[in-house]
Copies of this chain bind each other. A is one copy, B any other.
Amino acid sequence: MKKPLLAILAVGALAPPVHAQDALPPDADLRAAALEWFEPIPETPVAPEGNILSPERVDLGAMLFFDPRMSRSGIFSCQSCHNVGLGGTDGLETSIGHGWQQGPRNSPTMLNAIFNIAQFWDGRAPDLAEQAKGPVQAGVEMNNTPENLVETLETMPGYVDAFAAAFPDEDAPIHFDNFARAVEAFEATLITPNSAFDRFLNGDDAAMSEQEKRGLDAFMTTGCIACHAGVNLGGQEYYPFGLIERPGGSVLPEGDRGRFEVTQTVDDEYVFRAAPLRNVALTAPYFHSGVVWDLSEAVHIMSSSQLGTELAEPQADDIVAFLGTLTGQQPQIVHPILPVRGATTPEPQPMYDQ
């Protein structure tokens, strides 16, 4: 991605298509245009800043990610809402947490989240490590405290050994920051390369069908790229939801003012991080409110609310077909065998009310 996004936010500032309305450009031209905006997912994971991807740290992170004892109840793990088998989401409108409380926003995928500029719908966590500290403490989610979580880890010999191996230079490696760092290391490996789109970007003309190529072309020429570009086709910047036309209250509930809650700036009312679109065909329901189950409907809502355009049905279908090419190789994760509890490990407290 080479063009600054903000420079083209105003609709209409996009370069006109280099071809007649219904003609598909030659593959080489389409690829060249796409490479101005998008990047393929790398084949191998990259270590986050300030972290390393040693096998010991990644394996520890997998254990923590799948361990329901990280929640106060002993019921919810990271995996509960970011299911590696469900495109990294929970498939619910908004997540259910401790005590069957319903959370305020749709659970975003952790697949390829390493490529986002910041985490959460409002970007309030600068990186995956900081993100990992949120849900474990949220009363509506895992309802735990750093103290209880650390005590849980310290009293299991299997975790004592695993932290020592993952952080070999530290005398007292079990602490909340290292919990988060290990989860971040594991999540950094959860990337989905080799989608049809990536194979096309990398030179394989046959990786995408004619319809999918028309959809890619339309995705660029109608202006979707203004917000959905980069390696994740989104996740790079913040934009008002309802830039042109505010969608109905079920899609954009008044009570959730988005990034305003983070910055307390009026300009940030109803501003959200543009959703990353990798694997979007797997991650229904859509939007932070999670009320839209159909990808085509989501495309139409985006078009009218963000671009002020009513897409013709064939073009919308083409874009949906293109979005399907963003489904990459899903991670093959061996479910970790979790450490056995120790004699003084805190018992799960499903009825604990913080």
Interface residues, chain A, CB within 8 Å of chain B?
66-69, 73-75, 80, 83-87, 90-92, 96, 99-100, 102, 281-282, 284-285, 293-294, 330, 332-338, 340-341, 343, 347-348, 350
Contact = CB atoms under 8 A, between A and B. Distances in A.
Contacts of A67: 85
A282 B342 CA distance: 10
Contacts of A284: 341
Contacts of A341: 91, 284
> Considering the complex of A and B, which 5 residue pairs feature the smallest CB-CB distances, nearest first?
A100-B100, A85-B338, A330-B337, A333-B335, A96-B350
Contacts of A281: 340
Given A73-B96, A85-B66, A338-B86, A91 B332 contact: no
Contact of A68 (B75, B83, B294): B83
Nearest to A324: B340
Copies in the complex: 2
29 contacts: A66-B85, A67-B85, A68-B86, A68-B90, A68-B91, A73-B96, A74-B90, A74-B91, A74-B92, A83-B338, A84-B335, A85-B335, A85-B337, A85-B338, A86-B338, A91-B348, A92-B348, A99-B100, A100-B350, A102-B350, A281-B340, A294-B343, A330-B337, A332-B334, A333-B334, A333-B335, A334-B334, A334-B335, A335-B335
Nearest to A91: B74
A36 to B, nearest CB: 30
Contacts of A69: 91
Contacts of A87: 340
A11 B63 CA distance: 45
Contacts of A66: 85
Contacts of A85: 66-67, 335-338
Contacts of A294: 343
Nearest to A333: B335
A300 to B, nearest CB: 15
